[in-house]
């Protein structure tokens, strides 16, 4: 901490800064947090609107809680941001507030060392694993330029937030492929409105993007590798079960289980409305190029889609690419009456040796869907 003491020199009073070890305060509103303690975090948020977090190791089992930020604050991460090891399901970082800007400074890295938690069992089994970055009631804000390596499990959990833009985020969980990374979702969204995720690269072992509920979401110009694809759902059995107006544009999905996926939970209820995927390219997909299914269970799909959902106004336009020979190009498995107002144009996913098998049930007439 730097504070000011008045010193008498002759007749003049001079203001002299005084430092303590962990916190530098260059001006009253510009503060730096560094080292290995969060003790000053609350007072910094109360006093400073320009916060630099530099070479910080968050103590094991603690949350870097940026939930007391003043409206209009900027938080810049510099250097290495690390986390002590604890088996727990909390969040390593939480951000709330209004008009907040979160920036990754040049050369910074969130070096999460997820391999300490990875056991191949993911978020629901084995060691308890924390989520890296939760937003909760984050409003009118920007998160940009973050570089993230090897998260224990989920990377971004975006909850109850509105009008937030995530740009130029790099998530690199490549090491998880050989070391037991699982459920390392890139962006999970619940109960938000107006979230944009753009110009980002996600390498992981679960959904690149998954929206379970919420309205007005834009996923633009992103590259997904290694995971489970660009997903709506699973929808159902949550507090909120409506997904409305999602727009995915100009994205690539490579070396992943799925390209495009919509899944609703068997025997649950909900709505999936006004969804557009356009200009999506996929390569080397192992399971399904495009899949829309109403029989999902976390323990595995039942094979029996159920009603109780409306999947209405689903547009796919200019979707190109290839799946592995043992994968399925396009599969729709829905109960009658669930799907309506679908418009699929220029959808060309090839590669499956099952291409001649009709893998579509519950497709609305004149929708342009070919399975
Ligand atoms: C705040 O302090 C940091 C570290 O000294 C400096 O890099 C940054 O430019 C300052 N920001 C403002 C807005 O003064
Ligand atoms: C957020 O920023 C906008 C635009 O600068 C401003 O109108 C609004 O008052 C700010 N909100 C808060 C809570 O500071
Ligand atoms: C598509 O996204 C890529 C980044 O993945 C970007 O470089 C390119 O400019 C985007 N194209 C359009 C037409 O927006
Ligand atoms: C769905 O409901 C039916 C009828 O109640 C039941 O037979 C079936 O086991 C249920 N399926 C699941 C996956 O819960
Ligand atoms: C269908 O959804 C798209 C957004 O994905 C929206 O722009 C369009 O207005 C919707 N069409 C109708 C008829 O509601
Ligand atoms: C496709 O993915 C497999 C793993 O499923 C990998 O071994 C192979 O190298 C990939 N091929 C290309 C062309 O990327
Ligand atoms: C579909 O894609 C394949 C290769 O990916 C290409 O050979 C074929 O011409 C395309 N078909 C159409 C109708 O564009
Ligand atoms: C889709 O095709 C695969 C491969 O033939 C088959 O195993 C599966 O049962 C089919 N699914 C549906 C829903 O028809």
* Bridge partner list, 103: 76, 144
Whether residue 351 is contained in a domain is answered as: yes
Whether residue 23 is contained in a domain is answered as: no
Phi, psi of 114 (to 5 degrees): -60, -20
Query: Which candidate, 135, 107, 115, 99, places its Cα nearest to that of 179?
Result: 115
Q: Which domain holds residue 138?
A: 31-361
Whether residue 10 is contained in a domain is answered as: no
Structural domain count, the chain: 1
Q: Which of ligand 4's atoms lies nearest the C-alpha of 295?
A: 13
Q: Which of ligand 4's atoms lies nearest the C-alpha of 267?
A: 1
Which ligand is located closest to the Cα atom of residue 177? 6
The pocket around ligand 7, CB under 6 angstroms, is made up of 322, 348, 350
The pocket around ligand 5, CB under 6 angstroms, is made up of 245, 247, 274-276, 313
Whether residue 145 is contained in a domain is answered as: yes
Burial class (CB in 10 A: 0-12, 13-18, 19+), 193: middle
Query: Which candidate, 289, 151, 275, places its Cα nearest to that of 216?
Result: 275
Whether residue 5 is contained in a domain is answered as: no
Whether residue 97 is contained in a domain is answered as: yes
Block means of pLDDT (10 residues each) for the chain, length 371 residues?
38 37 56 97 96 98 98 98 98 98 97 98 96 98 98 98 98 97 98 99 98 98 98 98 98 98 98 98 98 95 97 98 97 97 98 88 95 83
User: From the CB of 325, is ligand 8 less than 6 Å away?
Assistant: no
User: From the CB of 223, is ligand 3 less than 6 Å away?
Assistant: yes
Whether residue 333 is contained in a domain is answered as: yes
Any idea which residue has 């909760």 for tokens? 136
Concatenating the DSSP letter of every residue in 260-306 gives EEEEEETT--EEEEEEEEEEEEEEEESSEEEEEEEEE-TT---S---
> Does the annotation count 228 as an active-site position?
yes
8 Å CB contact between 185 and 214: no
């Amino acid at each position: 901490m730097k504070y000011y003491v008045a010193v008498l020199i002759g007749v003049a009073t001079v203001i002299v800064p005084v430092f303590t070890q962990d916190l530098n305060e260059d001006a009253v509103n510009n503060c730096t947090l560094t080292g290995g303690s969060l003790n000053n975090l609350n007072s910094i948020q109360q006093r400073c609107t320009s916060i630099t977090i530099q070479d910080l190791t968050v103590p094991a089992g603690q949350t870097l809680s940026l939930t007391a930020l003043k409206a209009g604050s900027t938080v810049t991460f510099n250097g290495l941001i690390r986390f002590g090891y604890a088996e727990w399901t909390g969040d390593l970082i939480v951000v709330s507030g209004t008009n907040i800007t979160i920036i990754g400074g040049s050369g910074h890295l969130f070096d999460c060392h997820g391999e300490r938690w990875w056991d191949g069992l993911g978020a629901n089994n084995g060691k308890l694993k924390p989520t890296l970055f939760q937003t909760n009631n984050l409003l009118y804000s920007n998160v940009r330029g973050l570089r993230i390596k090897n998260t224990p499990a989920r990377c971004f959990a975006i909850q109850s937030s509105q009008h937030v833009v995530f740009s130029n985020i790099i998530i690199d969980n490549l090491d998880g492929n050989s070391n037991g990374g699982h459920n390392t979702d890139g962006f999970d969204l619940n109960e938000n409105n107006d979230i944009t995720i753009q110009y980002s690269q996600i390498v992981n072992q679960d959904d690149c993007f998954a929206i379970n509920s919420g309205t007005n979401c834009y996923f633009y110009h992103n590259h997904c590798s290694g995971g489970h694809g660009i997903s709506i759902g699973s929808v159902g059995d949550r507090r909120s079960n409506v997904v409305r107006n999602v727009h995915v544009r100009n994205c690539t999905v490579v070396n992943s289980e799925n390209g495009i996926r919509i899944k609703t939970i068997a025997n649950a209820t909900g709505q999936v409305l006004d969804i557009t995927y356009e200009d999506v390219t996929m390569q080397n997909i192992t399971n399904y190029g495009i899949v829309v299914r109403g029989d999902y269970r976390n323990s595995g799909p039942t094979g029996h889609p159920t009603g109780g959902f409306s999947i209405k106004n689903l547009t796919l336009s200019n979707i190109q690419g290839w799946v592995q020979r043992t994968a399925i190009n396009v599969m729709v498995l829905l109960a009658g009456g669930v799907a309506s107002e679908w418009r699929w144009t220029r959808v060309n996913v090839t590669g499956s040796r099952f291409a001649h098998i009709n893998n579509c049930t519950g497709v609305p007439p004149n929708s342009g869907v070919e399975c």
